[in-house]
Amino acid sequence: LQAKGLNPDDDPLEDVEEIAAGYIQEMMQGNPHGPYALLGYSSGGVLALEMATQLEAMGKKVSFMGLMDTYVSPNNYKDLFGQKDYKGIANFTVNSVRHAFSCLVKFPRRYLRHNKNFILGSLYNYYKKFNPIKADKANPLYVLDRLQKAHQRALTKYQFKRYAMKVHLFKANNEVWNYVRYGETNGFEPYIDGEIKVINIPLGHLQFFEPPFVKIFASELKNVLDTINDAS
């Protein structure tokens, strides 16, 4: 589904619930009754989950809910401080340091390269903040940058809910350099009341759509969908 704002004449939305509602409206024009199979890649998985929640609230059936290496990525310290969970803050800090040290020991060159790239990326983001791309809807770089920033603001303020449906998590196998609570489920365990089915796939986060890896993912996805179709 195309994000609103990719067309330069449209203003991008800055609220996950509104973005999801817009996608549902577009989807229901071609299939008003369902059932619906939803799949979201990376942060798009958050939108897909919100869509599933809204569809079920409308009485619609969601037959499949899939996440492609989506992470729960709230500001852990902000959440913990807001809850005054000082024990949680201490545990998160200790686990973060332990995880960083473990990565440094196991993969020293790759870990240091990651941190170098992270620092350079952060510096570039600060540079863009004070030297933004000139507003020009005829410039595709400006249109894309505006859309990315709007979606980032939407994701940052989104409050994760309790999701009742069964979720299939297609999990990449590249190293995770930052500590993630409930890492086996990419942080989703506290939020999914239904079953979380984790399908580990031998590819990196950025390789889902790249040949030859896309065939590996497509095969795993087909197996899951065939099982669901057989059960129904």
pLDDT digit string, tens, across residues 79-126: 677 777 777 778 777 877 777 777 777 778 877 777 777 778 778 777
CATH architecture designation of domain 16-231: 3-Layer(aba) Sandwich (3.40)
Q: What is the pLDDT of residue 113?
A: 78
Residue ranges per domain, the chain?
Answer: 16-231
Q: What is the pLDDT of residue 192?
A: 92
Name the H helices within the chain.
16-30, 44-57, 76-82, 86-106, 108-130, 140-157, 213-231
Q: For residue 14, which phi and psi values (nearest 5 degrees)? A: -125, 30
Q: 52: which residues sit within 8 A by CB, 6+ positions away?
A: 36, 38, 62, 65, 163, 165
Report d(CA 76, CA 82) in Å as an integer. Answer: 10
Report d(CA 180, CA 190) in Å as an integer. Answer: 13
The model's pTM: 0.82
Residue the block writes with tokens 């409308």: 58
Report d(CA 53, CA 22) in Å as an integer. Answer: 14
What are the residue ranges in the chain where pLDDT is below 70?
73-79, 175-180, 232
Q: Are 37 and 63 in contact (CB under 8 A)?
A: yes
Q: What is the pLDDT of residue 214?
A: 95
Q: 165: which residues sit within 8 A by CB, 6+ positions away?
A: 52, 56, 62, 65, 192, 194
Q: How big is the CA angle at 184 (ends 151 and 115), to the nearest 5 degrees?
A: 60
What's the distance, CA 181 to chain centroid?
A: 15
Residue the block writes with tokens 């852990």: 76
The 10 Å Cβ neighbour count of residue 25 is: 9
Q: Are 165 and 56 in contact (CB under 8 A)?
A: yes
The 10 Å Cβ neighbour count of residue 185 is: 21
Q: Which residues pair with 62 in a beta bridge?
A: 36
Torsional class of 91: left (φ above 0), alpha (ψ -120 to 50), beta (otherwise):
alpha
Q: Are 44 and 148 in contact (CB under 8 A)?
A: no
Rg (C-alpha) for the chain, rounded Å, is 19
Q: What is the pLDDT of residue 91?
A: 78
